[in-house]
Structure 1
Amino acid sequence: MKKKYLSIDIGGTQIKYGLFDRSGNLIEHNHIATPTRGQDFLKAISKLVAQHLDTIRGVAFSVPGRVHPDTSVIDFGGALPYLDGLNLKQVLTKQFGDELLVSVENDGKSAALAELWMGNLLNEKDAAAIVLGTGVGGGIILDGKLFRGVHYQAGELSFMSAKNGSEKYGTYGSAVLMIQKIARHFHFSDLNDGATVFELINRHEPYAYQIFTEYCQRIACLILSIQSVIDLRKYVIGGGISAQPIVADTIREQFYQLLHHLKLDNNGVTPPAIVRAHFGNDANLYGALYCLLSSQVKLKEELTYV
């Protein structure tokens, strides 16, 4: 009997994938570069599934863009426009048969589900996950459940206005663009060399640390905007850069400074907890898996077992 599951997280620069057992344990973890063309993307996904077909019972996807929960159709596609209108469930079912279980969930919502399932939002009733990457993803938990919104786009933080409406948070709050700005200043051959950039940040190199602090202030402003409207208890910070403790710590510091600057720290806004996501950059993989398990009535026993 096939007892494993393949979880695939589609990002703007990388496609990460993980092979899980029925208890939610990550067995295999790897990544490939995200293709720039839709045709090449489908070939890459089909190849990944085919490589694991003999051992997996289902495939779970975390994707950018709005996902219709009933149809699995993706709208917009974020940094990957070729995802717009794509139904991955239909494509894979046609290719591999309907015995292969397939689910598709938005990346920010996947991160929130992972943290709610087994992470730093466990047992939280009102909270959110903020995922810092190519854009800014998000997932909102209200009354212990994922909040999707009327049009299934709740948590699309990349759409929020920044700089008096001249920019949106998808670019203004992009961790990738922040890293590239620092890398370009120091003439790195690889502008996406986040590890070396954070070496500079962690030792407080003046230019790198200034750009990073300004970036964290932007995310703190974003959190304040959300907090003013829905008053959550906790925020978890995810995405690749969240593996660096300085990220959540500095966002928290900037949030408190922002409250003080706006004179909201006494009788204004009650500060929420701001912590690093338990699953870090793998949150989307776990959350997508949770979505697959919880959406299948026949898998309730396995979900309870986990």
Structure 2
Amino acid sequence: MNYLCYDVGGTFVKYAVVQEDGTFVSKSKFPTRADNAEQFFGDLAKVAASAPADIAGIGVSFPGFVDPHTGVAKRAGALGHLDGVNLIAAFQAQLKRPLPIAIENDAKCAALAEMLNGNATDVKNFAVITLGTGVGCGIVLDGRVLHGGHFRAGEFGMSITDYGQRGYATLHDLAATSSLVKAYAQAKGLPVAEASGEAIMANLADPTTETVVRQWAAHVAIAIFNLVATLDPERVLIGGGISKNPKILPYIKDALADIPFWTDYQTDVALCKHDNDAGLLGALAIAKQ
């Protein structure tokens, strides 16, 4: 059985035909054109029109606060023109053949991907923290994604953890990969455009670079500790572009070990299995449901 899966981002919409077991049949992407709702859903529907006839359903990973039951985007993240739109109804209206559509927040889809066939197949209580341009979080408790009363559960990047030094700076400002890149650029006297996560990881032997990474990892560790102390997950998985390099995990674990209370709350911390395909596989998980 095949499913049509979409991963909607601010720049591109990735899409794939995926088998029930997570095997990709085909995969591609197109530019996101969300300034006009009819245009946006027309682009999605054009892909669906050319999909194989045996598609059993559609899954969509989408940014922002999404009600998966009604399909309404309470907030559409970077796609602000779609705020308040019933995404499922608008998509179905453009389909040439009726297909069931399921939709979910992108960070929650990343968690579902790990539960489907990633590094959380053996646990029922876990969290995925994605470190990219911002900090995302998907939480699974008792085998179910946590949505919260306003579908905002997991907006962990908005946490304020360093008020005494940084005021109302959030984890987006302190623990994202973009924060690490900015700190590295400042320390090395480089334009931010000339710095990257890849360059940082390749330059860890440099004392200045390592100091920057350890300072950043301390913010990540505090975020993990707060999450663990609040939810008691069996595992915390780290995702996002920086997680593709396994060298980053020891720095985070060292920073966790520096927290005096970590011995009482210690839990398994590992890297995500999925990176670029996490949204598509999470979309598969909800489509199968």
TM-score (norm 1): 0.80
Q: Secondary structure at the match of 2:251?
A: helix
Distance 1:205 1:77, change over 3 A: farther
Partner of 2:115: 116
Counterpart of 1:52 in structure 2 is 51
Change (3 A) 1:146 1:189: closer
Q: Is the 1:62–1:285 Cα contact (8 Å) retained in structure 2? A: yes
Query: How many angstroms apart in 1 are the aligned matches of 2:55 and 2:194?
Result: 36
Partner of 2:213: 212
- TM-superposed CA distance for 1:38, in Å, is 4.6
For the Cα contact (< 8 Å) 2:3–2:287, is it kept in 1? no
Q: Which moved more, 1:167-176 or 1:108-117?
A: 167-176
In 2, the alpha carbon distance for the partners of 1:190 and 1:86 equals 38
1:276 to 271, 279, 284: 271
Q: Determine the C-alpha separation between the residues in 1 that align with 2:173 and 2:73.
A: 21
**8 Å contact from structure 2 (residues 127, 235) kept in 1:** yes
Identify if the C-alpha distance between structure 1 residues 57 and 224 changes in structure 2 by more than 3 Å, giving closer, same or farther. Answer: same
* Residue 173 of structure 2 is aligned to residue 171 of structure 1: yes
- Distance in structure 1 (CA, Å) of the matches to 2:98 and 2:179: 41
Q: Give the secondary structure class of the aligned counterpart of 2:140.
A: strand
CA distance in 2, matches of 1:253, 1:278: 21
**How many residue pairs were aligned?**
283
Where in structure 2 are there 5+ consecutive unaligned residues? none
Q: Distance in 2 between matches of 1:14 and 1:251?
A: 31
The 5-angstrom pairing of residues 201-280 of structure 1 reads 203-257=204-258, 259=259, 263-266=260-263, 269-280=264-275
Q: SS in structure 1 opposite 2:277? A: helix
Amino acid at match of 1:100: L
Whichever residue aligns with residue 261 of structure 2, its letter is L
Distance 2:83 2:248 in 1: 32
Cα deviation for residue 265 of structure 1 reads 4.2
Residue of structure 2 in register with 1:83 after alignment: 82
Could you say what secondary structure the match of 1:204 adopts? coil
Q: Cα distance, 1:115 vs. partner? A: 1.3
Mapped to 2, the partners of 1:29 and 1:22 lie a distance apart of 15
Contact 1:234/1:272 (8 A) holds in 2: yes
User: CA, structure 1 residues 70+189, in 2 after alignment: closer, same or farther (shift >3 Å)?
Assistant: closer
The CA deviation at 1:6 is 2.3
Identity of aligned residues (%): 30
Q: How much is the aligned-residue C-alpha RMSD, in angstroms?
A: 2.7
Q: Give secondary structure in 2 for the equivalent of 1:108.
A: helix
Tell me, yes or no, if the aligned pair for 1:243 and 1:281 is still in contact at 8 Å.
no
Q: Gaps spanning 5+ residues in structure 1: where?
A: 295-306
- Of residues 13, 16, 22, the one that matches 1:15 is 13
Do the aligned residues in 1 keep the contact of 2:41 with 2:94 (CA within 8 Å)? no
Q: Equivalences for 1:152-167 in 2 at 5 Å? A: 152-164=151-163, 165-167=167-169
Is the contact made by 2:256 and 2:262 (CA closer than 8 Å) also made in structure 1?
no
CA distance in 1, matches of 2:34, 2:24: 28
Q: Does 1:287 align with 2:282?
A: yes
Alignment match, 2:125: 126
Please say if residues 66 and 72 of structure 2, whose CA atoms lie closer than 8 Å, have aligned partners that are also in contact: yes
2: CA distance between counterparts of 1:133 and 1:106? 16
Q: How far is 1:236 from its partner?
A: 0.8
Residues 112 and 129, structure 1, Cα contact 8 Å, conserved in 2: yes
- Report how far residue 205 of structure 1 moved: 3.4
2:221 is aligned with 1:199: no
Q: Tell me how far 1:291 sits from its aligned partner.
A: 0.7
2-structure distance, mates of 1:187, 1:99: 50
Matched, 1:102 2:105: no
C-alpha distance in 1, partners of 2:133/2:42?
23
Instruction: Give the 3 Å change call, closer, same or farther, for CA 172–45 of structure 1 in structure 2.
Output: farther
Tell me: CA distance 1:9–1:208, structure 2 relative to 1, closer, same or farther (3 Å). Answer: farther
Instruction: Provide, for residues 89-124 of structure 1, a one-character-per-residue CA deviation record: whole Å limited to 9, x for no partner.
Output: 112211114622211101111111111222211131
Residue 52 of structure 1: SS of its match in structure 2? coil
